[in-house]
Structures are given as C-alpha cells and as structure tokens.
C-alpha cells in the first residue's frame, strides 16, 4: 500500500508539472497512475455509447444497496422483532424491496452480456484479431486489482476497526474466511463454496459473471460467423436454462424465491441450488448477448415499428416487470404448490430480462420519451463508472454499522430507506479512492500493453492526436484546462460505441 501511494503521488505530481506546458501532447504510460488524469477520465461526460445503460446501472446499484440493507436489518435485533417478517410479507409495497436481490443482479448480468456481445461484434467488424488469452486476460485485469485489495482489507484491517455485541459474529468470521479461502475468490470459483464458509459473500456475483464470460466466446462466435445458427443456439440456451430452473425447483420442492422468514435449512438449500449457481443466471446473460447482437446489427437503422407496436411493447414490458417484481408476493398468501413455484422460478428471469432489454433498446432507438431522458441523465455517467467499486466496498460500511450496533433498532421501511441513502452517500468517496488508486491505473496499463493500437479517449496515451485548426481555436488559454478539454473532445469524437462502457461495468 505504501508503494502504491508513493507511485500515485509521484505520477500525479509529474503529471501536473508537465501539463503546465502549452503542448497538447499526451503523457507516457507511467501517467496511468496520475490521480489527476484518472479523475478527469472518471468525471468526463461522453455523448457516445449507450447513454441509457449508465442510468440503469446506477439505479440498479442503488437497488442492490437497498436490498442488502433490508437483509441485514431483517436479522438485526429489533424492538418490533415479532412483526418484522409479517410487515414485509403482508404489505404489497415491500415486494420491490424483497425482489431486489435477484432482479437487480439479473439486470447486471443482462448489461454485462449486452456490452460483451456488442464489443465482440464491433471488434470483429473492424477487423481486429481475436485472441482468447487476451480476451480472458483483459477481463481478469479489469476486475481483480480492486477486488484483491478488498480481500486483503477483509483479511487484515476489518476485524480491527471496531467492536460491539455483534462484531465477532460477522467481522471476525468474514476475516477468518478471507484468510482461509482468499484464492477461491481470485480464481472466481467462490460461488461453489458452501455457505456461510465464504469470503465476501456478496461477491458470488463476480464469480458467476466471470464463469459466464469464460463460456461466452462459444455463443459470440456462432452469432458472428453463422447468424441463423447463432440465434438458434441462443434460444436453445435460454429454453434449456429455463427448463433446468423448472426441474430443480420442482424436484427439490424449492420456494418461489428468497422469501422472508424461511427456515435456515430451507433458505440455505434454495441459495445453493437456485440463487447462486451459474446455471440460474444464464438466461439474463444470454438475453443480454442477444440484445447486444440486435443493437449492433441495427446501429445504423431506425426502429421501424409504428406507434401502436411501440405502445404494445411498452405495455408488455411493464406487465413482465410487474410479474417479476410482484409475483413473489402471491406466494405469501397461497398454499405451496411445486408446480406454481417451478413455473415462477423458470419464467421470472426471462420476464425480467425481456422487460429491461426492451427499455434499453427503446432508449437507444429513441422510442422511450421521458424514460430515455431520465436514464440518459449525464450525472449518471460518473456514478456508473464507480458502480463496480461501490459494489465491492458497500458491504464494509453495512457490516461495520451492524457490528457496532448496541441497541435494538425499530425495523421499518423508513429506517431501511434512510440507512440505504446514508450508506450510498458514504460509499461513493470510498469507491472513488478505490477506483482511482487500483482500478483505473491497471485498466490504463492493460489498454496500453494489450491494445497498443486502439484509439481511446483517455488522456494518458503516449501518442498525441493531431489538433485541427478549428479545434485549436476553441481551446482555452490555460494549459491545464486545454488538456481537460482535449480529453473530452477526443472522447466525443469516438463514434457509435465507447469501449469504456464495457470495462466499467
């Protein structure tokens, strides 16, 4: 950590000193560690790429935090302990809160598959050669450095941060697990660990996403080389995964979903068989790959549907989203049926994926009206770039608050929302430090060495881009402001797709 801090300070100081010249040359590779330049890249606003994805990503991350606050507070000693479960299962307004765990991560899987699919097809269309090793290495370098830092933090400093009646129950146990099985996380196989003997329990998502990424070239090549066969393969995978969810839920008599108040044994069985396994997340990921395929081959075309068809699609998307969100509420008031539970478990991921896929497609094709205005708000772009580090770091703040709690809480919706907003506000600066110190420097270096010929909008590349006379006239006089201006201008000149959206997922 000391070495990293020294490198960051030295790189930033040298960058500031060299940027005072009037030349618009971009820095050499060591400037990848410059906090100043990475901050510019983090806060830069681009008009290219998928603008709606930034909004979906930011709002979904907030939903994940809200859900995790609910899950932790649901097991925190409360004054109204005897009414916590009935208050969540009896009130239909809490259904989106309870459904947040599964549906929010499905949204991330869909966006991940979409951006990977679109990026793969775009590179092939531009004639860039495909290397499987580089394909995997880029992804590993993209995710692992900040992840490894958080594992190190869990294993060393976390249990020493505080104390309380619940401290050893979570903090010390988590630290011991990270000391014992840290390498499972760095190999992205921790989703197969038996709970609760896991390090950073919420990172099962990263393992599943990496495993789906490992298998994605099979489908991507089929969609690129043989379009019709690729579409058939995609649909076959969706139906096979849905059928597997139906069969597993039916054979093991699993519940409809992550229902509050389940006995621990039944909840553990559901998590190990349906919630965490890779096969249960194939549907949203593959649906996202299909969406990326559609967006790529229609990127120069307008949506040919008339207003009636567009309205029908919006109605269908809304109905599917309501079914996926509120369908679980039906199970609270009905006798258990294996057939109903299996049908819901198999149809829910597909319904939600199709709903979110239509929202993104309609936004990118200009058929979303105020929805596109909301999701494409420029302020979502920096938040979306921080979403990965927010995901990694937010559990520390949650469990710290839980561990130092010394009095019973008053469980309720207001308390959950208030706490979630506080966690979100506190985790953003932590995520920014984690991203500027570990995520973005390694990302810059991987781009420099693994994609040396690709033109990027980042400001740390070694070769300067020629400045036109028109651009030169628009540049401010101050050298540092000119440097920032050139960074944004170069980013805006990228057409169609911004590669940063892939790596910032």
* pLDDT at position 348: 94
Split at pLDDT 50, 70, 90, the class of 171 is confident
Tell me which residue of 164, 196, 174 sits closest to 402, measured CA to CA: 164
To the nearest 10°, the Cα dihedral for 102, 106, 108, 114?
A: 180
* pLDDT at position 184: 93
In tens, the pLDDT along 85-114 reads 776 777 777 788 877 788 999 999 999 999
Q: Is the pLDDT of residue 34 over 50?
A: yes
DSSP string of 373-430, one letter each residue: HHHT-TTHHHHHHTHHHHHHHHHHHHHHHHHT--S-B--SHHHHHHHHHHHHHHHHHH
Work out the average pLDDT over 34-60. Answer: 90
Q: Is the pLDDT of residue 505 over 60?
A: no
* pLDDT at position 502: 40
In tens, the pLDDT along 331-352 reads 887 888 999 999 999 999 999 9
Q: How far are the Cα atoms of 101, 108, 111, 374, 483 from residue 52, in angstroms, in the given order?
A: 22, 13, 11, 8, 28
Q: How large a percentage of the chain has pLDDT more than 70?
A: 87
In tens, the pLDDT along 478-494 reads 444 444 444 444 444 33
Q: Is the pLDDT of residue 23 over 70?
A: no
Work out the average pLDDT over 40-57. Answer: 89
Tally of domains in the chain:
1
In tens, the pLDDT along 403-453 reads 888 899 888 888 889 999 999 999 999 999 999 999 999 998 888 887 755
Largest CA distance in the chain: 74
CA–CA distance, 320 with 283 (Å, rounded to integer): 15
* pLDDT at position 183: 93
* pLDDT at position 414: 86
CA–CA distance, 122 with 116 (Å, rounded to integer): 10
Q: Which residues pair with 409 in a beta bridge?
A: 78
> What is the sign, positive or negative, of the torsion defined by CA atoms of 378, 382, 385, 389?
negative
Q: What is the residue-averaged pLDDT of the chain?
A: 84
Q: Which two tokens stand for residue 481?
A: 């402001």
Residues 146, 392: contact at Cβ < 8 Å? yes
Structural domain span for residue 412: 2-16+24-503
In tens, the pLDDT along 234-286 reads 999 999 999 999 999 999 999 988 877 778 888 888 999 999 999 999 999 99
* pLDDT at position 6: 93
* pLDDT at position 487: 42
In tens, the pLDDT along 205-236 reads 999 999 999 999 999 999 998 989 999 999 99
In tens, the pLDDT along 366-405 reads 888 899 999 999 999 999 999 999 999 999 999 899 888 8
Q: Is the pLDDT of residue 311 over 50?
A: yes
Work out the average pLDDT over 493-497. Answer: 38
* pLDDT at position 26: 53
Q: Which residues pair with 78 in a beta bridge?
A: 409
Work out the average pLDDT over 9-27. Answer: 72
Split at pLDDT 50, 70, 90, the class of 21 is low
């Amino acid at each position: 950590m000391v070495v990293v801090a020294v490198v960051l300070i030295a790189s930033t100081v040298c960058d500031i000193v060299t940027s005072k010249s009037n030349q618009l040359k971009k820095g050499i590779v060591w400037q990848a560690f410059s906090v100043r330049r990475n901050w510019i890249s983090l806060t830069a606003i681009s008009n290219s790429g998928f603008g709606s994805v930034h909004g979906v990503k930011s709002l979904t991350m907030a939903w994940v935090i809200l859900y995790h606050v609910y899950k932790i507070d649901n097991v925190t000693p409360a004054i109204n302990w005897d009414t916590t479960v009935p208050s969540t299962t009896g009130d239909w307004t809490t259904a989106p809160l309870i459904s947040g765990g599964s549906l929010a991560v499905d949204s991330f899987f869909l966006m991940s598959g979409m951006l990977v699919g679109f990026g793969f097809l775009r590179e092939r269309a531009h004639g860039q050669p495909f290397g499987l090793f580089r394909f995997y290495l880029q992804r590993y370098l993209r995710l692992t450095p900040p992840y490894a830092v958080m594992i190190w933090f869990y294993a060393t400093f976390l249990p020493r941060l505080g104390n309380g009646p619940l401290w050893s129950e979570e903090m010390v146990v988590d630290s011991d697990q990270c000391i014992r099985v840290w390498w499972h996380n760095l190999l992205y196989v921790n989703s197969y660990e038996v709970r609760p003997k896991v390090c950073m329990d919420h990172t099962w998502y990263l393992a599943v996403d990496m495993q789906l990424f490992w298998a994605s070239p099979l489908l991507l090549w089929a969609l690129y080389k043989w379009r019709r066969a690729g579409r058939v393969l995609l649909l076959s995978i969706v139906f096979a995964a849905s059928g597997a969810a139906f069969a597993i839920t039916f054979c093991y008599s699993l519940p409809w979903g992550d229902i509050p108040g389940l006995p621990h044994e039944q909840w553990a069985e559901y998590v190990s068989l349906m919630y965490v396994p890779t096969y249960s997340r194939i549907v949203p990921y593959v649906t996202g790959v299909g969406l990326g395929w559609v967006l790529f081959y229609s990127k120069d075309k307008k949506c040919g549907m008339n207003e009636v068809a567009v309205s029908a699609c919006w109605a269908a998307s809304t109905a599917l989203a309501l079914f996926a969100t509120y369908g679980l509420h039906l199970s609270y008031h009905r006798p258990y049926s294996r057939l109903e539970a299996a049908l819901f478990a198999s149809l829910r991921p597909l319904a939600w994926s199709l709903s979110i896929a239509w929202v993104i497609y309609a936004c990118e094709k200009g058929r979303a009206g105020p929805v596109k205005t909301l999701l494409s708000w420029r302020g979502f772009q920096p938040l979306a770039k921080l979403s990965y580090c927010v995901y990694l770091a937010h559990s520390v703040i949650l469990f710290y608050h839980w561990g130092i709690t010394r009095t019973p809480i008053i469980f309720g919706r207001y308390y959950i929302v208030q706490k979630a907003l506080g966690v979100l506000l506190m985790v953003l600066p932590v995520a920014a430090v984690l991203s500027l110190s570990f995520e973005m420097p390694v990302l810059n270096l991987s781009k420099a060495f693994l994609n040396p010929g690709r033109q990027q909008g980042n400001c740390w590349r070694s070769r300067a881009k020629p400045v036109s006379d028109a651009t030169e006239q628009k540049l401010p006089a101050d050298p540092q402001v000119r440097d920032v201006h050139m960074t944004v201008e170069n980013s805006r000149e990228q057409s169609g797709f911004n590669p940063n959206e892939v790596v910032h997922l």
